[in-house]
Copies of this chain bind each other. A is one copy, B any other.
Amino acid sequence: MPKIVDRTERRAVLCQAAVAVFAEQGYHRATMQAVAERAGVSKGGVYEYFDSKEQLLLASAEMLLSAAFGQSIAALERDSGTLHERLESFAREALGTAEDWSELCLLLLQVWAELGPFEEGPLRTMMGRLYRESADRVQAVLDAAIENGEAAPHPSRAAALAIMASLDGMVLQAILVPDEFRSALATGAFYGWCRSLVPVAATEE
């Protein structure tokens, strides 16, 4: 009669611990020991659920990032509200509040550093997929807005990528120049950028 544990649940707990520790100490400086302790399990226990540190990073990153990206883009895909309103919601969701955001930013930095210069690798694949999917969804929203005349016709892929790029640039500002980041947040700067990148239809102005 083996102890019944929900493996999925357990993996999630470990991922959360891993995210916290990796964000705090950096992926390479963090030890499996530290992750295990944070999760309240033994060092060896982690290996019941993940084959290696690398896989733990992969799973942790995927869990956190797909949730975060999904949530913010969902705000853009809502049925209700004008495009501008939804862009503003998106900006608010994406940048969120300082605490979670900070952990997310720090983990992103760690993941980015692990991408490496080569095409291969599961981390690249996952991150690339996430990036493209996110850009696709943003672009779809923009295309729909162009379709129904809310936005002026413009290269929507470029705009989508510009929005993505700005968002990532904000990640860095949050970490590197937090005071500038906070004031940009307060003045709604990121939302403003999104707006500038998406020309509205002439009639709507």
Q: Which residues of A contact B (CB under 8 A)?
A: 23-24, 26-28, 102, 106, 109-110, 112-117, 124, 127-128, 131-132, 135, 155, 158, 161-162, 164-170, 172-173, 175-177, 180, 184, 187, 189, 192-193, 196-197, 199
A197: chain B residues at CB < 8 Å are 193, 196
B113 adjacent to A176 (CB under 8 Å): no
B124 adjacent to A115 (CB under 8 Å): no
Closest B residue by C-beta to A184: B161
A166: chain B residues at CB < 8 Å are 162, 165-166, 169, 193
Copies in the complex: 4
B180 adjacent to A135 (CB under 8 Å): yes
A184: chain B residues at CB < 8 Å are 158, 161
In the complex the two chains form, what is the Cα distance from A26 to B196 in whole Å? 36
CB-defined A-B contacts under 8 Å, sample of 6: A26-B116, A28-B28, A109-B113, A128-B176, A131-B176, A132-B177
In the complex where A109-B113, A166-B169, A168-B168 touch, is A161 in contact with B176 (Cβ < 8 A)? Answer: no
A161: chain B residues at CB < 8 Å are 173, 180, 184, 189
In the complex the two chains form, what is the Cα distance from A166 to B173 in whole Å? 11
Interface centre among A164, A166, A192 (most CB of B within 10 A): A166
